[in-house]
Amino acid sequence: MQTDSLSHLVAFACVARHSSFRQASAELGLSPSAVSYAVRGLEKRLGVSLFNRTTRSVSLTVAGRYLLERIRPALRDVSEALDQMDAFQATRSGTLRINTSRAAAYLLVAPLLPHFLAAYPDIHVEIVHEEGPVDIVAAGFDAGIRLEGDVPDDMMAVSINRSQRLVAVAAPTYLRGGMALKHPRDLMKHECIRYRFPNGRVPKWEFARGDTRLEVDVPGRVTLDDMYTVARMALAGSGVAFVLEDYVRPLLDEGRLVRLLEDWCPLLPGFMLYYPGHSRMPPALRAFIDMARASSM
């Protein structure tokens, strides 16, 4: 049996029980795309379609019904055996290794970690932040944290915080006596503080209002590879920055930075914690996920 077969079978059985990928993802605590990926992987391996899919319904094929009848007793036995293993895990302990993006480390992990360590004194935590793609299995990590669009397709993923908003901001000193900024295209007349991705790409600034999407290739004499530093440059009055709102929320609340183009600033999916689906989740990781999700409510 392949190492990921059991997780794929569990996902298949859950979708069959609910006749819904979305409801199955909610029960499993995974993203709908992760459940869909697991079922597609199982279908590819078996060489048959297990579900009839339409825009309104999901139903088992003949092959799907046969497979479900054969595996249901075995899955029940596995579930009962794993539940019994909880008796051997009376305390959560060990070392938890998580690879995160810099933004996730600053905005999510750093505020959460003191509370987590206080709640679980027997758990040790190692956090490594990297901006490029990382094979967390090969590198020996229990999990990774990235924005939803950056999660590898072959990983199980759970949402652990709310959506993020990109905001255009500037210091009052920069705006005083400056040119009006009422539309994203007005940025072409301003000094913009640009951000560079780890792969070297400097992205255009993407705005959205209703059904309208707009990209602006903003000008700027300063390009930085750290969003926190971008925010500090804006605070110093060096120009307009386009950053995740949580980086600058206290500065906005204090009036030291000002929101610009508010009705054009888009929402992004929140951070996802992801891990290999072929292994049982360590109790320490489950505890971390539960606390992260509770703190985001």
pLDDT value at residue 90: 47
pLDDT value at residue 88: 47
- Asked if 80 and 110 sit in the same domain, the reply is no
pLDDT value at residue 214: 95
Core vs surface per residue 199-218: b (16+ CB within 10 A) or e: eeeeeebbbeeeeeeeebeb
Task: Show which of 84, 118, 142 is a domain's final residue.
Answer: 84
Residue 187 lies in a domain: yes
pLDDT value at residue 82: 67
Name the domain count of the chain: 3
Residue 269 lies in a domain: no
**Range of weakest confidence among 78-87, 217-226, 246-255, 281-290:** 78-87
The type of residue at 60 is L
Structure tokens at 242: 């386009």
pLDDT value at residue 270: 84
Residue 262: pLDDT band (50, 70, 90) is: very high
pLDDT digits (tens, 9 = 90+) for 148-204: 878 888 888 888 887 889 999 999 999 987 777 899 999 999 999 999 987 788 999
Q: What range does the domain containing 139 cover?
A: 92-162+284-295
pLDDT digits (tens, 9 = 90+) for 264-278: 998 888 889 999 876
Tell which wins on pLDDT, 87 or 58: 58
pLDDT digits (tens, 9 = 90+) for 16-61: 989 999 889 988 888 889 999 999 999 999 999 999 998 888 999 9
- Across the chain, mean pLDDT equals 88
Share of the chain above pLDDT 90, in %: 55
Residues forming a β-bridge with 222:
193
> Which CATH number belongs to the domain containing residue 175 in this structure?
3.40.190.290
pLDDT value at residue 30: 86
Structure tokens at 39: 């079922």
> Which CATH number belongs to the domain containing residue 156 in this structure?
3.40.190.10
Average pLDDT over residues 202-213: 93
Residue 274 lies in a domain: no
Task: Show which of 84, 116, 136 is a domain's final residue.
Answer: 84
Residue 174 lies in a domain: yes
Share of the chain above pLDDT 70, in %: 93
Residue 86: pLDDT band (50, 70, 90) is: low
Task: Look at residue 80 and tell me whether its pLDDT is greater than 90.
Answer: no
pTM: 0.63
Task: Show which of 49, 84, 119 is a domain's final residue.
Answer: 84
Structure tokens at 75: 């899955």
pLDDT value at residue 52: 93
- Asked if 71 and 116 sit in the same domain, the reply is no
- Asked if 144 and 289 sit in the same domain, the reply is yes
Residue 276 lies in a domain: no
> Which CATH number belongs to the domain containing residue 22 in this structure?
1.10.10.10
Beta-sheet pairing, 222-224 with 271-276: unpaired
pLDDT value at residue 84: 59
Q: Pseudo-torsion of CA 201, 227, 167, 146, nearest 10°? A: 80
- Asked if 290 and 153 sit in the same domain, the reply is yes
